[in-house]
Structure 1
Amino acid sequence: MTDINDRAQERAMKATIWRLFFCQALMNATMVGQAAMGAIIGHSLSADPALATLPMAVQMTAVMAASIPASIIFGRYGRRTGFLLGAMVSICGSLTFALGVWMQDFFVYCLGSAFAGAGFGIAQHYRFAAAEAATPAYRPRAIALVMAGPVLAAAFGPELVKHTYQAFAPYLFLATYLALALLPLICITLLTGLIFPPTPPRAAVTTPVGEIMRRPAFVTAVVAGLVAYGTMNLAMTATPLEMMFCGFSVSASATVIQAHAIAMYAPGFVTGHLIARFGVRPIIVAGAGLTAASVVVALLGESFWHFAVGLAILGVGWNFMFVGATSLLATAYAPHERVRAQAANDFIVFGTVACTAFLSGYVHARFGWSLLNLTLIPPLVAALALLAWQKSRGVTAAAVAR
Structure 2
Amino acid sequence: MTDLSPATITSDAAADQPDDGRAKRNVWVLAAAQGLGGLATMNIFATAALAGAQLAPDARWATLPVSTYIIGTALTTYPASMFMQRYGRRAGFMLGALGGLIGSLLAAYAILRGDFALFCLATFIAGSHQAFAQYYRFAATDVASPGFAPKAVSYVLAGALVGALFGPLIINHTRDLFAPVLFAGNYAATAALLAVSMGVLAFIDLPKPQAERPAATPFGALLRRKRLLVAMLAGMMAYGMMNLLMTATPLAMVGCGLSPDQASWVIQWHVLAMFAPSFFTGALIVRYGAERIIAIGLLLNDAAALAGMTG
TM-score normalised to structure 2 length = 0.90
1:169-184 alignment to 2 at 5 Å? Answer: 169-184=179-194
Distance in 1 between the 2:214 and 2:288 partners?
A: 38
Correspondence 1:92 to 2:102 = yes
Q: Say whether the 8 Å CA contact 2:19–2:144 is kept in structure 1.
A: no
1:16–1:133: 8 Å Cα contact kept in structure 2?
A: no
2:93 corresponds in structure 1 to 83
1:147 matched to 2:157? The reply is yes
Change (3 A) 1:169 1:133: same
Structure 1 runs not aligned, ≥5 long: 1-7, 302-402
Counterpart in the other structure of 1:289: 299
Q: Map 1:232-251 onto structure 2 (within 5 A).
A: 232-251=242-261
| Higher helix fraction (1 or 2) | 1
Question: What is the total number of aligned residue pairs between the two structures?
Answer: 294
4+ long deviations beyond 4 Å = none
Alignment correspondent of 1:360: none
Cα deviation for residue 204 of structure 1 reads: 5.6
Residue 277 of structure 2: aligned partner = 267
Partner SS for 2:257: coil
Instruction: Determine the structure 1 residue equivalent to 2:226.
Output: 216
For 1:337-382, what per-residue CA distance to the aligned partner results, in whole angstroms no more than 9, with x for missing partners? Answer: xxxxxxxxxxxxxxxxxxxxxxxxxxxxxxxxxxxxxxxxxxxxxx
Q: Deviations over 1:218-249 (max 9, x none)?
A: 11111111111111111221011111111100
Please tell me whether residue 27 in structure 1 is matched to residue 37 in structure 2.
yes
Equivalent residue number for residue 111 of structure 2: 101
Determine if the alignment matches structure 1 residue 189 to structure 2 residue 196. Answer: no
Distance (Å, rounded) in 2 between the aligned partners of 1:131 and 1:146: 10
Indicate the residue corresponding to 1:160 in structure 2.
170
In 2, distance between residues paired with 1:202 and 1:233?
A: 38
In structure 1, the residue matched to 2:73 is 63
Q: Which residue of 1 is the match for residue 3 of structure 2?
A: none
1:338 matched residue in structure 2: none
Q: Are 2:171 and 2:186, in contact at CA under 8 Å, matched by a contact in 1?
A: yes
Partner SS, residue 19 of structure 2 = helix
For the structure 1 residues 16 and 48, does the alpha-carbon distance in structure 2 shift closer, same or farther, using more than 3 Å as the test?
Answer: same
Q: 2:123 aligns with which of 97, 108, 113?
A: 113
Corresponding residue number in structure 1 for 2:5: none
Is the alpha carbon distance of 1:208 and 1:157 closer, same or farther for their aligned partners in structure 2, counting shifts above 3 Å?
Answer: same
1:335-354 pair list within 5 angstroms: none
Percent identity reads: 38
Give 3-state SS (helix, strand or coil) of 1:137's partner. coil
3-state SS in 2 of match to 1:182: helix
* Secondary structure of 1:42 counterpart: helix
For 1:252, give the aligned amino acid. Answer: Q
Amino acid in structure 1 at the alignment position of 2:187 = Y
Work out whether residues 97 and 177 of structure 1, in 8 Å CA contact, stay in contact via their aligned partners in 2: yes
Mind listing any 5+ residue stretches in structure 2 that lack a counterpart?
1-17
Q: What is the distance in 1 between the residues matched to 2:123 and 2:195?
A: 19
Give the CA deviation at 1:256: 0.3
Higher relative contact order (CA 8 A, sep 6+): 2
CA distance in 1, matches of 2:233, 2:292: 15
Partners of 1:193 and 1:120 in 2: how far apart? 20
Q: d(CA) in 2 for partners of 1:216 and 1:92? A: 39
